[in-house]
Structure 1
Amino acid sequence: DTLPTETQLRYLYETLVQQVAEQAKTSTFTANVAQADGSAASREITRIGPFVAFSGGKYLTYKGDQNILAFLARQPAGSVTGAARAVENATGDGFTRGVIDPSRGQLLGLIVETPTFNERVQQGGSIGYITLAIGAFAFIWGVFRWFTLTSTAGAVKAQARRPKASKSNPLGRVMLAYEAVGNKNDVGAVEAALDDAILKELPKLESGLNLIKIASNIAPLLGLLGTVIGMVITFQSITLFGTGDPQIMASGISIALMTTVIGLVVSIPLVVLHAFAAGAANRVAQILEEQAAGIVAEHADGRR
């Protein structure tokens, strides 16, 4: 072994300086890019130092075994690809915000392995789909009942301001029940008729609310069931294959975690929706009771 000569050291220095300078540059050139069908097509490529390269707003990766650039199998989020387009369309005046990968492709490569929303839902398995189906049905029904009860509450309030009773709302039907009492001087008969009319209206107001409540309770329980199933699958994998390869245990762990997440995501909105719907039903029932109590009080005062 001999010491490097002055010429070699100077060449090494100049090469390193050149590399540092090139890393700070954004260049555009034409090169072959591998296509989805396996062919290669010449495309205009923009490269930011040694960090990232993209073409047409899509990021590229270098395939060393084939010595060719190729598009990532899955592109980053829209804001990241938008930054790539902005750099490609930059005119050179001022600064343009771009995105680089300090790991020189490794971070972008991980995007391919990051599950999408649909893939995460699929990780929940059949338990996850059942939970989502129950949640979707209960949510649609809950929204329908909430709007129905809110509309009913508005109709009841409007009826309270009108002396003429209408069969189209609960308060109107209660008032018609009062008008049907033969002996209105009998406070007991009036009170019994009003109570009976209110009792007939309450089941209509509360109809379907228990379904929302049951669904909100079932969802986290299904999530817990999925968690148990996922852990059982994980322990079976450990028993059969050991703990040397984490990928073997990933399936069971994914089921355990995603079913829990799905159960909570379904349950929380249903609990809130049930509270709103039940509150609307209670407001209508309260108005009916207040109006009935007012009618009974008027008759009691009239007899004195």
Structure 2
Amino acid sequence: MKLLKVTLLFILFAPLFVQAQAVDKSILSDIKKAQQALKSAQDKVAAERAAIAKKLSVLQRQVLTQREKTAVVRRAQDENTLGLTQLQQRIDGWRAQHNFQQNLINRFIRQQDLPVPEKTGSLGSILRHSETLLAQLSPTFNPQAVITESGVIEQADVLALGPVMLFVNGEQAGLLESGNNGLKISLSLEGASRQSLLDLAKTGRGSISFDPSNSKAIAMARQHESAIEHISKGGLWAIPILFFALFALVIAIAKSWQLFRLPKIQLLPGSKLAEWISQKDLNQDNSLDGMQASLMQIARQEPNIAHRDDLLFNQLQLSKYRLERWLGAIAVVASISPLLGLLGTVSGMIETFKMMTLFGSGDPEVVSGGIAQALITTELGLVVAIPALILNALLSRRAKNYYQQLESFALQISQLSESNIKPLHSSEHEKPVRAAGAC
């Protein structure tokens, strides 16, 4: 019965299913047609847009061209339609510019003390004056008195080229500098430079040596001095500074030799140390040396613990004195050297002020030269003090580290009690006693 009902329902609804499928197919076909139509419309719009863009760019260029032509035509019309007032303003501007240029020419003529020419010949007068100036640029030697390097005043032919001055005196030639006492020879030329200057004086042609620094480079070259010359300028107070420097150097070399030759401290475990202390033969172990061997010898020879610790402390103090001996002298040198330098500077400044009182302060060389010499002692003091401080710090650190290792070794010995050492001694004494009893 149920099968019959299902069959009837299927027969009734089958046409509806077929009709729905046909509707779906028709809708899909319509959608595809619509998509194709849309695509073709989009392609057509894109093609039309490109054509319109080209036409628009052509029209824009034509508009710009027309605007330029219009601007040219308007300017031409403005020129044609200018009034009399505007033309008069232009003429007045040209006249003002002409008057300004003429005033500049007249001012130049007055500055150069030229004869006042006619209005039409101003430019020609300037040109003639320029030719005169060019003619004056040819070398002209004038006889003048110059001071030689030995201080003798002699006559020489002098050529002045602005601030640079050269001289020729017989077969000598060179550069001059202007001082308070007159012209002085700053540099005598040699070789090809001298011969070129001599040819220039004889024939009017030749190359010359030019000093763009105006003799300042020569003065700087003369300032170079050796170390001995530099120290000698410090005066009397440089001597004690050098003495203390030599004193500190000798002590530093001696202490370095002492500290860096010290044997290395050996730190032993407690049992090993007790065994070494209990040994009767002191020559059984040769690995310990120096200050550590002295501490070991005290521990072996003194059975009383309290007395042994006192001896160890005294030996440590003696070792500390030997390690730090003369290190304080280096520290004293580092402290006193800057003070000696300052004392030399003060003395030099006093002498400088005396010179200023006698000769005045108009000459800067007197003041600057005295101050420079006064500061040399301060420089020497600092040069001595800085290395002395460094050496004192290094050597003191070395001595302190070695003493701390000795102190640790002595503390390790002092921590050993009689109970740690006596069993070893008693075990050594029991063997012969037992042997005697057996006999």
TM range (shorter): 0.5 to 0.7
Q: How far 1:105 moved relative to its partner?
A: 5.2
Which of residues 225, 231, 242 in structure 2 aligns to 1:132?
Answer: 242
Alpha-carbon distance in structure 1 between the residues aligned to 2:214 and 2:364: 26
Residue 180 in structure 1 maps to residue 301 in structure 2:
yes
Tell me: CA distance 1:218–1:7, structure 2 relative to 1, closer, same or farther (3 Å). Answer: closer
| CA distance, structure 2, for counterparts of residue 192 and residue 283 of structure 1 | 22
Of structures 1 and 2, the larger Rg is shown by 2
Match of residue 399, structure 2, among 278, 281, 284? 281
1:117 paired residue number:
227
Residue from 292, 295, 299 that aligns with 1:171: 292
Cα distance change of structure 1 residues 165 and 174 upon mapping to structure 2, 3 Å threshold: farther
1:213 corresponds in structure 2 to 331
Mapped partners of 1:228, 1:166: distance in 2: 58
**Residues 232 and 252 of structure 1 are in contact (CA less than 8 Å); yes or no, is this contact kept in structure 2?**
no
Q: Name stretches of at least 5 consecutive residues in structure 1 with no aligned partner.
A: 17-61, 74-99
Change (3 A) 1:292 1:301: farther
For structure 2, list consecutive stretches of 5 or more residues without a partner in the other structure: 1-113, 115-124, 139-164, 176-185, 188-209, 277-284, 422-439
Q: Aligned pair in 2 of structure 1 residues 248, 102: CA closer, same or farther (>3 Å)? A: closer
Superposed displacement of residue 267, structure 1: 0.2
In 1, Cα distance between equivalents of 2:356 and 2:309: 70
1:265-276 alignment to 2 at 5 Å? 265-276=383-394
Cα distance in 1 between the residues matched to 2:242 and 2:130: 71
Deviation at 1:136, TM superposition (A): 2.2
Equivalent position of 2:354 in the other structure: 236
Cα 1:302–1:123 shift into 2, 3 Å: same
Matched residue type, 1:118: I
**CA distance in 2 between partners of 1:109 and 1:202 (Å):** 57
Q: 1:253 is matched with which residue: 371, 395, 404?
A: 371
2: CA distance, partners of 1:166 / 1:159 = 12
Q: Which residue of 2 aligns with 1:157?
A: 265
d(CA) in 2 for partners of 1:178 and 1:146? 30
SS at the partner of 1:103? coil
Matches within 5 A, 1:1-304: 2-4=125-127, 8=131, 64-66=167-169, 68-69=173-174, 102-103=212-213, 106-152=216-262, 155-157=263-265, 164=285, 168-181=289-302, 183=303, 186-299=304-417, 302=420
Distance in 1 separating the partners of 2:166 and 2:250 = 49
The one-letter amino acid of 1:175's match is: M
- 1:26 is matched with which residue? none
Contact 1:212 1:270 in 2 (8 A): yes
Q: Closer, same or farther in 2 for the Cα pair 1:226/1:7, shift >3 Å?
A: closer
Looking at both structures, which has the greater relative contact order when contacts are Cα pairs under 8 Å and sequence separation is at least 6?
A: 1
Q: Is the 8 A contact 2:168 2:174 kept in 1?
A: no
- Count of matched residue pairs: 230
Question: Partners of 1:159 and 1:149 in 2: how far apart?
Answer: 19
SS of the residue corresponding to residue 119 of structure 1 reads helix
Indicate the SS of the match to 1:244. coil
Paired AA for residue 68 in structure 1: A
1:123/1:251 contact within 8 Å kept: no
In the alignment, the residues of structure 2 paired with residue 235 and residue 7 of structure 1 have an alpha-carbon distance, to the nearest angstrom, of 53
Calculate the aligned-residue CA RMSD, in Å: 3.9
The secondary structure found in structure 2 opposite 1:199 is helix
**Structure-2 separation of matches of 1:289 and 1:247:** 62
CA deviation vs aligned residue, 1:140-182 (integer Å, no higher than 9, x gap) = 3213212321221xx032587996367851111121122221x
Distance 2:402 2:129 in 1: 95
C-alpha distance in 1 between matches for 2:317 and 2:265: 19
TM norm structure 1: 0.63
Alpha-carbon distance between aligned partners in 1 of 2:349 and 2:130, rounded to the nearest angstrom:
65
Q: Helix, strand or coil for the counterpart of 1:288?
A: helix
SS in 2 for 1:197: helix
Corresponding residue for residue 46 of structure 1? none
- Alignment check: 8 A CA contact 1:131 1:222 kept: yes
